[in-house]
Structure 1
Amino acid sequence: MTLTIVPVSLREASTFITEHHRHHLPPQGMKFALGVASHGLLVGVAVVGRPVARHLDDRATLEVTRSCTDGTRNANSKLYGAAWRATRALGYHRLITYTEAGETGVSLRAVGFRPVKDLAPHPGWDRPNRRRKAPTRAVARIRWELSTQNHRPPTAQSPAALDSSPCGTTIAARTTALDGRDQLVHGEITGQRTNSSLPMISP
């Protein structure tokens, strides 16, 4: 079976995840998304964004926030491999993701990911000063990562630094319509619509 990496929009990835993912809803935003197709039929998607955990958002790391297939053999490893190559091409040095405890992670190991931390069930990101919807499933997880030798461990940074690109320059908060459906905001793509562009914000 021939598997081919194909581009997908956030809307297309979200639709696929809604239809096929066992226990997660689509993410709210992304840096980029990838699809994998077999004979012209989309059989899997991966969505990559900034790390959800703020202490891992060190300007050199991205996270595969969703990886979802219809069960096609080798589709997951194909997506993870492509996600890593795209991550490196964008100038980042580490890619992380999570599996539930008990899952083998065979697709991750095939690409070179290694398990780095066992995590207890997380109650969610809801805080008094930052309200979030509680997760429907709090389960133990394993964090996996793949990194280059140039990656440095996360260090404390100011909020302004966290909004900059890997090379240290500020990403302008310009909103641009993509395919008439998605937007680019602070370097993140969201599924909102727009009919106009916001002005550039000076660094």
Structure 2
Amino acid sequence: MKRKLPKEIKCVIFDMDGVIIDSEEIHKKAYYETFVSLSLEVSDALYKSFTGSSTINAFQRLVAHFNLDENPEELVLDKRKRYINFFENDPNLHLVRNVEEIIKYFYEKGIILILASSSAMVNINRVFNRFDLNQYFSAKISGADLKESKPHPEIFNKAAILANIPKENCIVIEDSDNGIKAANDANIFVFGYANKLSEKQTLENADAVIADFLELKKFV
């Protein structure tokens, strides 16, 4: 059942990869370089199932799926090195279209902004420092630091607590089905952002779907 949009929006909780920054492609390159180094053939369906999950959760599942001897934590570090290489050497890496404008729009209206990403905090800080976003956000949460990964609702429950705003006055913006399920289970209204670069996500359980961030101005 779809939730109704809050009558008054006081907090916006953003995912990062695929919502704030178009980094899904370099994450995919880093993952698949790691898979090749392990001589693994990972299907599109299996890779798609990782979207929105933390990297440690993805590699834990990969190790179990292929019955590998490798330590998932070491695989995370290997993948992270590859990601950093792409991040630092790709001059075309950019913010999602119009997301900076909507972030500033919310901020100027006094709405609390929280970042709730499955990425490691080192990657979150790398993005926020490169694009000068720290000034707008009250808090940043890394799913890698939590007990549970999306689609578990822990990250969004924590975001609402950190914002000190009732859930009925919060909204989430997500581009992955795992993230949308986490927001659903946290009982927070969620906009699905239809990013064409995100890995075949249906967004079918989002409370509403947008294709451009400027669409949000009519709601807030």
TM-score when normalising by structure 2: 0.29
The structure where helix makes up a greater share of residues is 2
Greater RCO, 1 or 2 (C-alpha within 8 Å, sep 6+): 2
